[in-house]
Structure 1
Amino acid sequence: MSKHLQMYGFWPSPITTDWLAGGLRLQDVQWGGETLLWLEGRGAHSVIVAQTGTDAPRDLTDADQSVRGRVGYGGGAFTADSTHVYFAGVGGRLYRQPISGGPAHAITPAFGAAASPRLSAGGEWLVYVHHAEGVDGLALVDAAGDHWPRKLAYGTDFVMQPAWHPSGSQIAYVAWDHPQMPWDGSELRLATLTPGSAGFPTVESIVTIAGDADTAVFQPEFSPDGRFLSYISDASGWSQLYLYDLAAGTHQQIIDERAEHGIPAWVQGLRRYGWTPDSRALIYLRSAHGETQVWRYDLRDQAASPISAFDAYTHIEQISVGANQPDIAALVSASRVAPRVVSHTLAAAPDAPMTLTPAAESSITVLVTEDAPPRVHQRSMNDNIAADQLAQGEAITWTGHDGEPVHGIYFPPTSPDVAGLGAPPLIVSVHGGPTNHAVLRWRPEAQFYATRGWAFLMVNYRGSTGYGKAYKDKLRGAWGVYDVEDSASGARHLAEQGLADPNKFVILGGSAGGYTVLQAL
């Protein structure tokens, strides 16, 4: 069937504003024993949804609750074990609710704001990030909420991502001070606890074991057997995975690639990896060239391999590994696939003795498997639009004004029925932050315009994340320079390739991207 001609920008599109407005915001997913829990944003409210086995999904929290971490930009809304979910709700309070059903009840007073609750392995204590009157720190409350919360670790401007040792004797967390941002310089701290009055753990000592003013650390997690503390650091120039041997006091970089394994911590509660229950492997997210994949690192043979079950998706976030079963859950999407909640059961790995070798000596093994696709638990949008009606995003690279490489994501004008004459008009989209980056994921704004006949370029100007620390740091002292020049050179590149009309450029952006737009004009 031949296409008919129509002016660019006026093509009929299946993407309507009503369709976009009717979607859900999928914000987080975690395992609570054998129950999968995820956070759905519906209008102004966010609701925890639960699904156990093949039972139908059900709303767990009530409509009068809005589940949301309220420290900084948000995030870190809930945590769970096999029987209860603990969440940040109205009034800045933490609540406890049975997963099997029943009402929630507050376990902290209505004072300040709470985020990132984490339950101790024994289920007795809940550590969380607390903010009140301009002061941030770690606080502690008993899981039943029978006692008044206690201050645990204060003294820095900001804290995030607390994690318990399985014995309950230590807590790891990330801390930093003004004027640093957590992706520029932060510290991994290890607090040793001792029993205090009324049995409440108190801090005996706090030591900094990684990170500094020029090195960012991210997401500490203890191995289930208590032997290692894992974390992500950009000390090598890329955010890589490390293991800290708690007994030996030694650090080991286990991944060494030109890829990113961490992301900028704009919000609380971000997760990029998790331990398998047997402590044998780390399931982690690897990002390169705008695409994120799920990989597995096996500590026994020091081999890293992709998990092919997720190959249909190019963006994965908030990965969660079951505490009692080898199941993965995550939020996923792709250029033509709106966000979904999915889960996948890992195949069993063969037995092998566990030893550790330096990252440079470890192997990267690419396995071709026949894993079944992940199970879909929830979709943010309906799937009524055929794939050929949607634009396929592409990661591209061009040469900047000074000869250095610049990156971006390009969406071409797309329609199975309509074509235009000549080159299309171009929208150059500038992300905010500026410490952020555009990736190959579901982008409703790109689809809205591309399906109407616009070319759409999302610029990852120098200063963006995703391409190593040196690329990110290029914008220091040059904000309003590289971001503007790279947006302009990206538009020129597409025009030179015949993919955009050089006389029909539009530039748009919000927040830091709005500043770039103003500077560009």
Structure 2
Amino acid sequence: MSEVVPHGAWPSPIDAPTVTGIHGKPGWVSVADSHLWWVEPVPAEGGRVALVRGSVAGDSRRDVVLPAPWNVRSRVHEYGGRPYVVVPSGGVGPEVVFAEFSDQRLYRYRPGADAAPQPLTPAPARHAGYRYVEPIVGPGASEIWCIREEHTGPAPTDVTRAIVAVPLDGSAAADPAGVRVLVTDRHFLACPRRSPDGRQLSWIGWGHPAMPWDSTELRVATIGADGVVGPPGTVAGGPDEAVVQAEWELPDTLLYVSDPDGWWNLHRVQLNDAGRPVGDAVNLCRREEEFGGALWVLGMQWFQPLSDGRVAVVHGRSSTRLGVLDTATGDLTDVAGDHTEWAATLAGSGATVYGVAASHDRPYQVTAADVVGLQTLSHEPEALAPVDEALLPHPSARTFSGKDGREIHASVYPPRNEYVAAPDGELPPYVVFVHGGPTSRAPMVYDLEVAYFTSRGIGVVEVNYGGSTGHGRAYRNRLRESWGVVDVEDCAAVAQALVDDGLADPARLAIRGGSAGGWTTAAALAFTDVFRCGVIMFPILDLAGWRTGETHDFESQYLESLIGAWPATAQRYRDRSPSNHLDQIAVPFLLLQGLEDEICPPVQAERFVAAMAGRGIPHAYLTFEGEQHGFRQKETIVTALEAELSLYAQTFGFEPAGDVPRLQLTT
């Protein structure tokens, strides 16, 4: 018989150290030299990103290519992107070229060799002044072509970008002039790809104030025999159309994902010898679903051309599946398997496609799929620490009705712990998880951070509010000039719907989020009376400050679309900022901030907390050395989770099970 324990006080072995006990979500899968390559964050090693090599045979063999403290992570746009490329080396084993986080230089390394990694790029005068991402192998395997971001001055917007060629012989490490500049035609650049015959180069470009999910262009130029890139032309994209990935299918044919009809679909365009379109582009699979997503990190890959002419695609609405598209017929067949979410990273080798997939009861793992038999293959390169299934939530995807009847998509994770039961008639507390972005999406997958709460009797609902990805451009555009309104209304509406359905205690509702989700959390506390407390992580709190220099270059004009033209709508910026409505915040909150955050710097959090002092509202402010935008270190994650649980316990009136430190609140 189950022990009867109040919600929130349920004992659970899923403690905060358990949440950080497994490696993070793998990424950037490659196949080379009969091996799989990928990266994965390691919270227990200071949050560094490790480069891993495993077997394509599907067994458990794997090795960490670079030991600590090597950290394979790019800081381009601060969010980074694909940080490495494997280079064939003529029978002596492959080499890898990678971006090292500490100094952002490119390094060359042969796994198994006695020599340490050797720098390929110069040490800049300004720390991390040169940053590199999306490396590809250049002509004759003598150069690496990639995107370089150069920070030229003290302001966060003192930035230029180029596609450059870095010699593999290391000659540019001491001579910056050895790095050849290939392309500088747009302020932002992504997805450099050489055609199979080496005669043309394609890339994606855009400029302020657009974001890469608003308006981008697919550009193509010829490559001369001397390696010089010629004048480019636009092949696809433009105003209100966003190309997010492009790959060469043939020497004269490009495949690309774009949304001229409001949905990111896969297209084909044929080019002449000058790199200009021959005829109109063709939509290869016209569907009201997404074959792409928001280009927050560079190098995302939603499709992979296969050797037989078909294309492996990650696609869907709300969730993503792996399918195989016959480009001749338009037939799309999904690969069978129990995974419910595939990430935007794919690599192909013969009849097998490799990616990263998850489900509600299985975390993200490197996964293989047979694209002939259309079956997912077992591929678990590392045994995971078992978590008792009886402690994991059984989530459901729901669509709620919001203001004016608009649809709101969400994932509901009810409390679940088969070893305890709540008192008869007691409704559980619920926490609204708000994703960042805001142009992003929270997938419904295995997440021990969610289970940390649900196994204790606290429900979680992840809201993909209007403005989220996965539902077409019209849904994304709901936030146009409405950030701080639509997102707040949608989160409050979902919480209220759970109450109306008899699933949640109306007196014990909380909200939490980081980055843009931290903004929505703070705004919900200031402008609604639905929530009894909130956890605000590395947030935006002052829109005017963020628009006028308190963030990095990539998002420095994001608010032009989310709020309105600056300074013409300056009053709107002031009216929506939680920092200007402190008298309306009447419930406890916890504010968490990384001290090395360049996206949402601590200055806004510090002003906010200083202004809240003495107002009689219980709150706490915790800062973390060595953390940037989002928390990566084991110690930080443990402290943050335990502080969050303590806030809920003090606000909702329960005693948490286990050794959870009591958060010290001040007024």
TM-score, normalised on structure 1? 0.89
Equivalent in the alignment of 1:158: 188
The answer (yes or no) to whether the contact 1:27–1:41 under 8 Å persists in 2 is: no
2:105 pairs, out of 93, 112, 119, with: 93
What is the match of residue 128 of structure 1? 146
**Could you tell me whether the CA contact under 8 Å between 2:205 and 2:218 is conserved in 1?**
yes
Aligned positions of 1:191-206 closer than 5 A? 191-196=221-226, 201-206=227-232
Distance 1:255-1:392 versus aligned 2 partners, 3 A rule: same
Superposition pairs of residues 283-322 of structure 1, within 5 angstroms: 283-289=312-318, 291-308=319-336, 311-322=337-348
C-alpha change, 1:121 and 1:328, in structure 2 (3 Å) is: farther
Q: Which runs of 5+ in 1 are unaligned?
A: 349-368
CA contact (8 A) 1:427 1:454 kept: yes
Q: Residue type matched to 2:13 in 1?
A: P
1:19 corresponds in structure 2 to 18
Letter in 1 for 2:145: V
Residue 412 of structure 2 corresponds to which residue in structure 1? 410
**How far apart in 2 are the matches of 1:214 and 1:488?**
30
The answer to which of 170-179 and 25-34 deviates more is 25-34
**Secondary structure, in 3 states, of the residue corresponding to 1:151?**
strand
1:358 alignment counterpart = none
Once the two structures are TM-superposed, the CA of residue 483 in structure 1 deviates from its matched residue by 0.8
- After TM superposition, give the deviation of residue 292 of structure 1 in Å: 1.3
In 2, Cα distance between the equivalents of 1:53 and 1:463? 39
Structure 2 counterparts to residues 65-80 of structure 1, below 5 A:
65-72=70-77, 73-80=79-86
Distance 1:30 1:161 in 2: 16
Corresponding residue of 1:499: 503
Aligned positions, number: 487
Kept in 2, the 8 Å contact 1:50–1:58? The answer is yes
Paired with 1:270 and 1:174, the residues of 2 have a C-alpha distance of 12
Q: Distance in 1 between matches of 2:114 and 2:259?
A: 44
Q: CA deviation at 1:320?
A: 2.2
Match of 2:134 among 91, 94, 116: 116
The change in CA–CA distance for 1:488 and 1:374 in structure 2 (over 3 A counts) is same
SS of corresponding position for 2:108: strand
Counterpart of 1:97 in structure 2: which amino acid?
Y
Cα offsets for 1:100-135 (capped at 9, x unmatched): 645432222223111110114753432101011210
Partner Cα distance (1:146, 1:249) in 2: 44
Alignment partner, residue 235 of structure 2: 209
Match among 25, 47, 50 for residue 44 of structure 1: 47
Alpha-carbon distance in 2 for matches of 1:405, 1:331: 29
By how many angstroms is 1:321 displaced?
2.5
Larger Rg: 2
Deviates more, 1:169-178 or 1:330-339: 330-339
| Aligned residue type for 2:97 | Y
Residue identity in the other structure for 1:115? V
- Contact residue 356 and residue 364 of structure 2 kept, 8 A: yes
Shift of 1:84: 2.5
Bigger strand fraction: 1
Offset at residue 51 of structure 1 (A): 2.2
Q: Which residue of 2 aligns with 1:31?
A: 31
- CA shift, 1:340, in A, is 1.4
Q: 1:69·1:116 contact (CA, 8 Å) conserved in 2? A: no
Separation in 2 of the partners of 1:187 and 1:372?
35
Corresponding position: 1:235 with 2:260: yes
Aligned counterpart, 2:372 = 347
Q: More helix per residue: 1 or 2?
A: 2
1:351 matched residue in structure 2: none
Separation of aligned partners in 1, 2:447 and 2:51: 24
Q: What amino acid sits opposite 1:287 in the alignment?
A: G
Q: What are the within-5 Å matches in structure 2 for residues 325-344 of structure 1?
A: 325-344=350-369
Distance 2:114 2:281 in 1: 45
Among all aligned residue pairs of Structure 1 and Structure 2, give the percentage whose two residues are the same amino acid.
Answer: 30
**Partner letter of residue 424 of structure 1?**
P
* CA shift in 2, pair 1:518/1:40, >3 Å: closer
1:481 paired with 2:485, answer yes
Q: 2:324, 2:371 within 8 Å by CA — same for their partners in 1? A: no
Q: Secondary structure at the match of 2:496?
A: helix
Moved more, 21-30 or 422-431: 21-30
* Aligned residue in 2 for 1:167: 197
Question: How far did 1:155 drift?
Answer: 3.2
Q: Which residue, out of 174, 178, 182, partners 2:208?
A: 178
Give the drift of 1:9.
0.8
Give 3-state SS (helix, strand or coil) of 1:513's partner.
helix
Q: Which residue identity lines up with residue 28 of structure 1 in the other structure?
A: W
Amino acid at match of 2:84: F
- Asked whether the equivalents of residues 341 and 377 of structure 1 are also in contact (C-alpha less than 8 Å), the reply is yes
- 2:438 counterpart of 1:438: no
Q: Is the 8 A contact 1:122 1:168 kept in 2?
A: no
Classify the secondary structure of the residue corresponding to 2:483: coil
After superposition, give the CA deviation of every residue in 1:342-401 in whole Å (9 maximum; x if it has no partner).
2234327xxxxxxxxxxxxxxxxxxxx6x363321135x41x213232002221101102
CA offset digits 1:168-219 (Å, max 9, x no partner): 11111111111111111111111211133xxxx1112201111113111111
Would you say 1:105 and 2:133 are equivalent positions?
Answer: no
**Distance in 1 between the 2:131 and 2:241 partners?**
28
User: Structure 1 residues 374, 244: CA separation in 2 closer, same or farther (over 3 Å shift)?
Assistant: farther
Which structure 2 residue ranges, 5 or more long, are not aligned? 89-93, 125-129, 153-158, 173-177, 273-277, 526-667
Q: CA deviation at 1:7?
A: 0.5
Question: Compared with structure 1, are the counterparts of its residues 292 and 53 closer, same or farther at alpha carbon in structure 2 (3 Å cutoff)?
Answer: closer
Alignment match, 2:570: none
Give the match's secondary structure for 1:333. Answer: strand
What do residues 112-163 of structure 1 show as CA deviations (whole Å, max 9, x unaligned)?
1111101147534321010112101111123444461100100321111111
Amino acid at match of 1:417: Y
- Of 404, 425, 430, the residue aligned with 2:429 is 425
Q: Distance in 1 between matches of 2:323 and 2:454?
A: 32
- What is the deviation of 1:300? 3.5
Aligned letter for 1:177?
Answer: G
For 1:355, the equivalent position in structure 2 comes to none
Q: Please say if residues 275 and 321 of structure 1, whose CA atoms lie closer than 8 Å, have aligned partners that are also in contact.
A: no
User: One-letter code of the match for 2:37?
Assistant: L
Residues 335, 376 of structure 2: 8 Å contact kept: no
How many angstroms apart in 2 are the aligned matches of 1:222 and 1:465? 26
Which deviations, in whole Å up to 9, do the C-alpha atoms of 1:10-40 show, x marking residues without a partner? 1122311111122212233211232101112
Q: Which amino acid aligns with 2:121?
A: T
Answer yes or no: is the 8 Å Cα contact 1:425–1:500 preserved in 2. Answer: yes
In 1, distance between residues paired with 2:169 and 2:344?
Answer: 27
Q: Distance in 1 between matches of 2:31 and 2:411?
A: 33
